[in-house]
Amino acid sequence: MLEIYNEHVQDLLVHPRQRPKKGLEIRESKQLGVFVQGLSTRPVDSFESIEAVVAEGTSNRTVGATLMNATSSRAHTVISIEFRQISIMGEKKGVRMSKINLVDLAGSEKAGQTGASGDRLKEGCAINKSLSALGNVISSLADKATGKARPGAVVPYRDSKLTRLLQNALGGSSKTVMICAISPASANYEESLSTLR
C-alpha cells in the first residue's frame, strides 16, 4: 500500500517518521514490469487480514484541511493485491498470478475554492499535474485503440509517478474500471466535468 505525495512514492505500511525523505524509487524489469523498489508486502489470507493492513496504511496517509474538506487526502493512494494460485499435479507445479490495483485519486483542486496557500497550494499543484498526466495517458491509449494515434506515438507514462506506477494496469492485457465521485453542486461544475472527461 502506497501513496504518491508531491511526486514522491511513500510506503503506507511504514510509519511516516521512518520513511526515506525522497520516497521510494520506481523501477522496471522484464519479469515484474513496473514496480516500487523496497515497498512493503504483507501476506493475507482473509478479509479480516486485508482489512487490518488497509487500516494500518490508512492511518499513515497524508491529509490536510482545505475550505472544501476538513480531512482532504493530499495524495493518491494505491493498494495492490496480488493473488497466487498454486496447483500441483504429480511432479508438475504451476503458479497462476493476478493482481488488482485499487486506486484512490486525490481530487482535482482550484486554489481559489480550497483557500490553499503554502504547502496546501504546492500539494494541489502536484495533484492537478498528476491528474492531468493520467488524462493524457488515457487519451493516448484511447487514440491507439481506435487507430487515431500517429504511427510510433509513445504513451506518456513517464510524465508522472502516478501514470508510471499504473503503466502495468493501464496498458497491455489489463482490464480497468474507473469509478468517479462527482458533486451535484453547480459550484463544482468545472471539477465534475473535468473528472468525467
Section 86-103 average pLDDT: 87
Identify the pLDDT of residue 56.
95
Residue with cell 499435479: 89
pLDDT in tens, 41-52: 999 999 999 999
What CATH number is given for 2-196 in this structure? 3.40.850.10
pLDDT at site 173: 77
pTM confidence score = 0.82
pLDDT score, position 67? 52
DSSP string, 13-73: TS-GGGS-TT-BPEEEETTTEEEETT-------SHHHHHHHHHHHHHT--EE--SS-TTEE
DSSP letter for each residue of 134-188: HHHHHHHHHHHHHT-SPTTPPP-GGGSHHHHHTHHHHSTT-----------SGGG
Report residue 17 as a C-alpha cell. Answer: 517518521
Lookup: cell for 93: 507445479
Q: Identify the residue with better confidence: 32 or 158.
A: 158
Q: Which of 7, 125, 169, 95 is nearest to 155 (CA)?
A: 169
Task: Flag whether pLDDT at 20 surpasses 70.
Answer: yes
Q: Assign 123 a pLDDT band (cuts: 50, 70, 90).
A: confident
Residue 108 has pLDDT above 80, yes or no: no
- Give residue limits of the domains in the chain: 2-196
Q: How confident is the model at residue 117 (pLDDT cuts 50, 70, 90)?
A: low
Candidates 32, 33, 42, 34; CA nearest to 12 is 42
